[in-house]
Amino acid sequence: MSKFTKRIIIFSVFAIIVLALLIYYVNPREYYQALKDFPIIIAIVYLGVIFVSFFLRSFRWKELLSATGFDTSIKFTWRTMHAAWFVNWITPLRIGEMVRLYSAKKNEGISFGANSAAIAIEHIFDLIAILIISCISLILTLQLSQVPDNTFFVLVLALVAIIGLIALVLILLFFGKKAARIAKPISQELYENLLYLHTSFRKGFKLASKKPGKLIMMALLSGLIWVIESTVLYLLIIGLNMNVPFSVTVLAGSIAFLTFTVPLLPGNLGTYEAVFVAILTIAGLSPRRALHVPLTDRVIKAVYMLALGLPLLLTEGINITKLEEVDEYIEEEEDKLVKENSIDE
């Protein structure tokens, strides 16, 4: 059994344990009743918004690939984006990103370097957009009279943590070689990962900067995507008959989305729910009832992923048994990229 397969099994077992604990904690009978009473029209609208969000993501990826020198169709990026997200929902460690890189090379002839550069730009735009949304919603939340005094410090601490996270990421991206040099004595794997991240980002911006107008448009599109993703969560609050301020809902969603940056378990199970619930309790909800919101979000998205993600994954010619082949391809390409940009000792 390969190291890759062992990692998948270990993290999947943890995911099953976490899921069982969540189901036990939420009270299945009570949550089932909440789902039964959830208005079907809101669920349909929510599904529609998810579809629009995926279309915008697919268009952004297509345009970023174009900016790095590779033209492809929206049909390809839309199909592959769904397939990759389905893989992310059932496997740990963002393996879906590997599917995007592998499928683009296999089906469209898009080089690993250009695609990883486009995806790196995409992730940076996402982080910046989520940071801005988090800060705005946090400021609005702090102005609410119903926010308990004892949570003020926690909210301010959350703001500092968000800014610190983004600052750390930007430092790693812009000064990645220095960070990698420091990390090399600690871990060769960490050294290679930092160097790969830095190289992808710098290469992406170097290529995309030749088309600054497109780059600015994609940055704005990233903001729109995350405004949609964050604000649509309020539909769940309405459907579940909860009294939660709009700004608190957006704050909970935006900060919870940040945890997807490094998802250890499939679909970032557990971490996403924990952050979401912690923020919603500011509005006076019990943790058990607050848990209904992220779980309902997962249920609706699971329906969407099973309806579109799984079939489109199969059209890519990639099934779960081929993920090891995908991992081997990614490791080979990353090694090449790291060797080409290794630090002179």
Is 342's pLDDT higher than 90? Answer: no
In percent, the amount of the chain with pLDDT more than 70 equals 85
Q: Is residue 317 a part of any domain in this protein?
A: yes
| Structural domain span for residue 262 | 3-7+41-337
Residue 256 lies in a domain: yes
Confidence of residue 345 (pLDDT cuts 50, 70, 90): very low
Average pLDDT score over the chain: 83
pLDDT tier at 208, thresholds 50, 70, 90: low
pLDDT tens, residue by residue, 80-125: 999 999 888 888 767 888 889 888 988 899 988 888 888 888 988 8
User: Does residue 119 fall inside a structural domain?
Assistant: yes
Q: Report if residue 31 sits inside a domain.
A: no
Report the b/e string of 257-270 with b at 16+ CB within 10 A.
Answer: bbbeeebebbbbbb
Residue 30 lies in a domain: no
User: Model's pTM, two decimal places?
Assistant: 0.85
Cα–Cα distance for residue pair 59/49, rounded to 1 Å: 15
Number of compact structural domains in the chain: 1
Domain contains 121: yes
| Cα–Cα dist 46/32, whole Å | 19
Of 290 and 149, the structure prediction assigns the larger pLDDT to 290
pLDDT band at 53 (very low <50, low <70, confident <90, very high): very high
Query: 16 lies in a domain?
Result: no
Q: What is the pLDDT of residue 90?
A: 81
- On whether residue 344 sits in a domain, the answer given is no
What confidence tens digit (pLDDT) does each residue in 130-164 have? 988 988 888 888 787 666 666 666 677 777 777 77
Query: pLDDT grade, residue 344 (50/70/90)?
Result: very low
